[in-house]
Chains A and B, each alone.
Chain A
Amino acid sequence: MLLLIPAIPLAGAVFLLIFRAKVGRFAGAIASSAIGGSFFVSLIAWSELLNRPAESRAVGGRVFEWIAAGSFHADFTLRVDPLTAVMLLVVTGVGTLIHIYSIGYMASDERRGTFFGYLNLFAASMLVLVLAGNFLVLFLGWELVGLCSFLLISFWSHRPSAAAAGKKAFIVNRIGDFGFLIALFLIQKTFGTLDMVEVFARAGESPLTGSLATAIPLLLLLGCAGKSAQIPLYIWLPDAMEGPTPVSALIHAATMVTAGVYLVARAHVLFEQSLIAGGVVVGIGIATALLAAAIAISQDDIKRVLAYSTVSQLGYMFVAVGTGALSRSALPYVAGIFHLVTHAFFKALLFLGAGSVMHAVGDETDMKKMGGLRKALPVTSLTFIIGWLAISGVPPLSGFFSKESILAAAWEHGLPWIWVLGVIVAGMTAFYMSRQVFLTFFGESRVAADVHPHESPPVMTRVLQSLALLAAVGGLLNLTLHHGTLSKWLEPVFTSGVHIEATEAATPLGLPEVVVSAFIALVSLAAIALAYRLYLAPGAEKARTRLKGSLGYFVRLSQKKFFVDELYNSLFVWPGKVVARIAAFGIDAKIIDGAVNGAAKAVGAAALRMRMTQSGLVRRYAMAMLTGAALIVALFVVRVR
C-alpha cells in the first residue's frame, strides 16, 4: 500500500508527460487528483499508525531487491513511522493545495501539460525521499527532487537567467551530494548495510568513536546544506525564484528544501554520535539564519525577500535539530519538525500570495512598483497579512508557537547565546516581512499607469484562504513543547539511540514561561513598529534617509548580498575555468598530444633522412616490425626462462 503513495503521482507524471499536448486544460485537474489520491492514502497510513501502541508505530518493508552485488545489498524499502507520517501529510496536503492553485496560475501557459507532469514527478520523488527505509532509496528520492527542482526552475528556459538558475541549483546540490555519497560509503563500510533500521540499531548499541563518529554526520550535513540551502551552499535558492511561483512555494519553501532538516532528524542517531556534529549543525543553522535575514532586509524583489526568508527559517530548523543532536534529547527535534510544518503553511501561503500579486500587476516583482494593493486584492492582502503575522511570531498564530519552541529548546539545553541570536533573527524576520507587507499592500500606489490590478480567480484565492487558516491555527498542533500533541506523537521516534532527557524546563533568568514568550512576542512587535516607522508612518522617508546615513555601509552590503556570489565566482568558478583551459588546451593539446604527434613526426623525419619514403617500402617497414617483434619475443623467452 505504501508504494501507492509515490506511485499515484508517478503515474500522473508519466501520463501527463506523454499526453502533454492532448490533456489541455485538464492537466491541472489530473495532477491535482493524483496528489490528492496520495494524500488520501497517506491519511490511511497515518490512521494505521494511530491504531498502534506508541512504541510500535512503524509499518512497511521491502518492496523489491534493488541493487545487490558481492557484499553489497540494498533493498527498495519503504517505511512509515510518526516522523514520516508528518512529512507525508505536509507534502501531500500542502502539495495538493499548491497543485490546485497552479490550475489558475498556469491557466494561460501553453506548456501546462509539461508543468503539471513535472509537478507530479516532484511529488512522487519527494514521497520516495520521506518514505525511504534505506539510505540508498532516500538518495534516489533526494537526487530526483533535485532533478525536478532543476526542471521547474528552468521551466521558462528561453530566459537565460532561468536556465542558468536551474543549472546552478543542480550543480550546487551535486556538491552537497558528493558529501552524501561519501557518507553512504562510510555507513556501508562501518555498519555493513544501508538499511536505516539496522544502521540506527547498530549505532545505538555500540556508539562510534573517533573521527568516524564525526565524519559520517558532517558528510551527511554537506548534503543537507545543499538541499536545504544552508551555508556554504545556500546560493542556489535565491536564484531558484526564476521558476514559476507555485514551484517556489511547493519545492523551494514548503517541501524539498526541508529535506535536509528531515534527514538530520531521521538520522538523529548518527548525528548524536559526536558533539562536534551537533555543534556544527547548530552553528551553521544560526549563521545561515542571521546572514539570510540580513540580506532579506534590503531586497526589493518580492520573491527574493521570501527566498532569503526561507533560507533563514531553514537555518532556524537546523538550530533546532542540531540542538537535539547536541543534547541527545527528543524535544528539540520535535520543535524543528514543528517549525517545518508551520513554515510549510505560512511560507507556501506567502509565496502563493506573492504569485497572486504578480498575477495582478503583470508579473512585476519589484516592490518599489507596487504599494496600496490592499484595495484591489482584498483576499490576497488579507491572507498575506495572516501569513506575515504568522511568520513574524505574533501570537496566537502558528509561527509564534513553533519559534518559541525552538528558542525554549535552545535555552533548556544550555545554549543561551543561540537563544539571544535566535531572538535577534526573530526580530529581523518581523522587520523584513513587515517592510514587504507595507511596501506591497499599504501606502501610495506606485503601480505603473497601464497596469490595472485585479484579484485572482477563486481557484487561487480559495487555496490562499485554506492556507491562511492553517497558518493561523497551526499552533494548535503543539501548544506547549513539553505536553503538545505533536511532541507526544513524535517523541518515540527520537528516543531511540543514546538518549538523555532534560531534567526540567529551564527558562532565561528563571522567569515563568509566559513572561519569556511575551518578551519574544514583544521583540517581534517592536520590529513591526520599527518597520512601520520606516516604511509607512508619516515622515517615513526622512527617517529612512537618516538611518541610511548611519547604516549606509551595511545597507549596501546587504543589498549586494554580502558579495558571496562574487566571492564564490572568484574563488571557484573563475579559477576552475582557468584550470580546465590549461588542462584542455595546454596539457592535453600541447603536451600529451604534442608528444604523440612529435614522436610521429620524428619517426617521419628520420625515415626521410634515411631515404625510405619511396613507394614500395611499406612492406619493408612491416618486415622490419615483424623481425623486431620476433627478436623481442626470442629475447623475452630466453631471458625470462
Chain B
Amino acid sequence: MTIPVLSIVLFLPLAGALLVSLVPKDYVKLMRLVALASSIVAFGASLWMLFLFNSADGGFQLVEKVEWISRYRASYHLGVDGISLWLVLLTTFLVPLCIAASWRVDKKVKALNVILLLMETSILGVFLSLDLLLFYIFWEGMLIPMYFLIGVWGYERRVYAALKFFLYTLFGSLLMLVGVAALYFLGGRTFDLAELSRSGLGPSAQLWLFGAFFASFAIKVPIFPFHTWLPDAHTEAPTAGSVLLAGVLLKMGGYGFLRLSIPLFPDATVKFAPWLAILGVIGIVYGGIVSIVQSDVKRLVAYSSVSHLGFVVLGIAALNTAATTGSVLQMVSHGLSTGLLFLLIGMLYQRAHTRKIADLSGVGGVMPVFGGMFLIAVLSSLGLPGLNGFVGEFLILNGTFPVMRALTIIATLGVVLAAIYLLWMYERVFTGPVKIPHAERKSVWRDVSPGELAVIVPVIAMMLWIGLYPKPFLDRIEPSVERVLSNLNRPVASR
C-alpha cells in the first residue's frame, strides 16, 4: 500500500487544530507550541512530498482517489503537479511563521491557533483537489476562518473590513456555485476535473461558465475593479491574517484560472485573454499609482499587491509557457516578499503602535538590523535582480512582449512605480532624523530579537535562492504549465 502523502499534508493541520482545542484553557503557551509544532510537522510532510515529486513529469502525481458521493460522481481526488506543488509549499512554509508571529497575541489564543490551522487545511485543500465539488468546499470553507480572523483579532475597523471581505467573496462564490452546478449538468454529470475537461463544452457554454468562474477568481486575485475589499481586509487583519491573505489566498485566484478556466474553457480563455491582459495591466499601473500616496504603511503594501498580482494575470493571459511559468513563480515570490513585509510591519507596530507613515521617522537609525531586513523585503518586492521578485516579473514581461507589445511596455512602467512607492515609504519611515525618545530606544525599540530573526531569516534565504538559482523551481513548474497550456491547442473534436 502506498502512503497517502497528500492526505497527510492536507490533514496534519486539521489534526493539529484538534490537538490545540484539547489543551486545557490555562496552558496558553502549550497551545502555541502545539500549533507551531503541528504546522512545522505539516511543512516537513510537504517537504517529503517535494522529495517524492518527479520533476520531469508535468502531470498529476501522488494521486489519491476514493469514491465519495458516488451518486453524483464526486470523489475524494487529490493530486499535485508543478503548479500546485510550490503553492502548497508556500502555504506550509508561511503558516508556521504566522503562528510564530502571533506569539504575543493574548486574545483568545486557543481559537486563534485553531483558526490558523483550519485555514491551512482548507487552503491546502484548494490546491490539492482534483474534484470540483471538493475544490468548491475547500474554497468556501476558507472564507469562514478568515472572516473570524479579521473580525476578532483585527485592528480598529475590523468589523467593517471583515464584513466587506465576506460579502465581496461570497458574491463571487455564489456565481461560482452557479458555475459549478451548471458545469456538473453540462459536463456529463461528474465533478471530476479530468473528465470535465474532456467533456467538450460548446463555445457559448464555455463563455457563460468562464464568466461565472471569472467573477470569483477576479475578486480573489484581485483584478481591477474588484479589488476594494483588499486594502481594507489586509490593513485591518492581524499580522497572521495579512500574511495568509497576501501570501496565499490571493494566489487562489490565479490558481483557479490555471486549474479550472484554461483546461475546462479553453476557447473562452483564448477569447477572453486579451481582456484579461488589459485588466492585469490596469491593475499593475493603477495599483502602483494608488500605492504612492497611501499614508498607512500596511495599506500601501496592500495596494502594492494589486499591482504585483496584475503581473500574474498578465502572464497567465499571455498563454505561453515562459510567461505563464513566470506567473506561477511570481505567485510564490509575491507570497514571500509581501508576506515578509507584513510580518515586518507587524513587528514595527508592536513597537510603534502606529502604522501611519507621517508618525514614523528614522526607525533605521534605532533598529539598523530591522531596517536592513525591511530594505531587503522592499528590494525583493520592487523586483531587484538577484532577489526572487525579478525572475517572475522578467519571465512574464519578456514572455508577454512578443504577443502584446504595447501592453507589455505599459506594464513595465509598474517596475518604475514600484521603486517610487516603496522607496519613498522606506525613506520616510526608516531614514531621516530619529524622533524616538532616548528612554524608549533600549526598551521598546529594541532591534530584532532572536525569535523575530527566526521568522525573518528563512524568508530572506528563500528570496535569495529563488533570485540567484531559480532552476529547481522553474524546472518543476514548466512541464505542468506546458501540459495545462496544451489544452488550448487540442483540436475541438478530441475535447
Kindly state whether residue B397 has any CB partner on chain A within 8 Å. Answer: yes
Contact B427 A178 (CB under 8 A): no
Q: A residues within 8 A CB of B275?
A: none
Partner of B286, one of A140, A174, A583: A583
Name which residue of chain A comes closest to B320, CB basis.
A70
Q: B residues within 8 A CB of A394?
A: none
Q: Give the interface SS of chain A, mostly helix, strand, loop or mixed.
A: helix
The A/B interface has a contact count, at CB < 8 Å, of 165
Kindly provide the distance from the CB of B258 to the nearest chain A CB, expressed in whole angstroms.
15
Contact A147 B384 (CB under 8 A): yes
Kindly state whether residue A287 has any CB partner on chain B within 8 Å. Answer: no
Kindly state whether residue B83 has any CB partner on chain A within 8 Å. Answer: no
Question: How far apart sit A583 and B289, CA to CA, in the bound complex (Å)?
Answer: 7
Contact B178 A629 (CB under 8 A): yes
Interface hits, B260-287 → A, CB 8 Å: 286
Q: Say whether, besides A70-B321, A185-B397, A640-B204, A579 and B289 are in contact (CB < 8 Å).
A: yes
Contact B432 A163 (CB under 8 A): yes
Contact A178 B415 (CB under 8 A): yes
Contact B208 A636 (CB under 8 A): yes
Question: How far apart sit A229 and B265, CA to CA, in the bound complex (Å)?
Answer: 51
Q: B residues within 8 A CB of A166?
A: 427
Kindly state whether residue B181 has any CB partner on chain A within 8 Å. Answer: yes
**Chain B 316-354, CB within 8 Å of chain A: the 1/0 string?**
000011110110000000000000000000000000000
Question: How far apart sit A340 and B384, CA to CA, in the bound complex (Å)?
Answer: 28
Name which residue of chain A comes closest to B306, CB basis.
A588
Name which residue of chain A comes closest to B205, CB basis.
A640
Question: How far apart sit A469 and B423, CA to CA, in the bound complex (Å)?
Answer: 41
Kindly state whether residue A181 has any CB partner on chain B within 8 Å. Answer: yes
Contact A577 B292 (CB under 8 A): yes
Question: How far apart sit A264 and B494, CA to CA, in the bound complex (Å)?
Answer: 53
Partner of B379, one of A147, A181, A580: A147
Partner of B419, one of A170, A579, A596, A629: A170
Kindly provide the distance from the CB of B433 to the nearest chain A CB, expressed in whole angstroms.
6
Kindly state whether residue A449 has any CB partner on chain B within 8 Å. Answer: no
Kindly provide the distance from the CB of B401 to the nearest chain A CB, expressed in whole angstroms.
4
Contact B399 A72 (CB under 8 A): yes
**Chain B 363-404, CB within 8 Å of chain A: the 1/0 string?**
011001000000000010000111000010011011101100
The number of chain A residues with a CB under 8 A from chain B is 61
Contact A72 B431 (CB under 8 A): no
Contact A637 B185 (CB under 8 A): yes
Question: How far apart sit A471 and B365, CA to CA, in the bound complex (Å)?
Answer: 39
Q: B residues within 8 A CB of A607?
A: none
Q: Say whether, besides A144-B385, A185-B408, A69 and B477 are in contact (CB < 8 Å).
A: yes
Q: B residues within 8 A CB of A588?
A: 228, 290
Question: How far apart sit A625 and B177, CA to CA, in the bound complex (Å)?
Answer: 11
Q: A residues within 8 A CB of B177?
A: 629
Q: Say whether, besides A69-B322, A160-B431, A171-B419, A629 and B181 are in contact (CB < 8 Å).
A: yes
**Chain A 165-208, CB within 8 Å of chain B: the 1/0 string?**
01100110011011001101110110000000000000000000
Beyond A184-B398, A630-B181, 4 extra complex contacts between A and B, CB < 8 Å: A67-B394, A181-B397, A581-B293, A636-B178
Interface residues of A (CB under 8 A from B): 64-72, 114, 136, 139-140, 143-144, 147, 150, 154, 157-158, 160, 162-164, 166-167, 170-171, 174-175, 177-178, 181-182, 184-186, 188-189, 576-577, 579-581, 583-585, 588, 592-593, 596, 600, 625, 629-630, 632-633, 636-637, 640-641
A-B contact pairs, 27 of them (CB 8 A): A65-B471, A67-B391, A67-B474, A69-B321, A69-B326, A70-B320, A70-B321, A71-B321, A114-B368, A139-B385, A147-B379, A160-B431, A170-B423, A174-B415, A178-B416, A181-B397, A182-B409, A185-B397, A579-B289, A580-B292, A583-B286, A584-B293, A596-B228, A629-B181, A633-B185, A636-B178, A640-B205
Which 3 A/B pairs are nearest by Cβ-Cβ distance? A70-B321, A70-B322, A163-B431
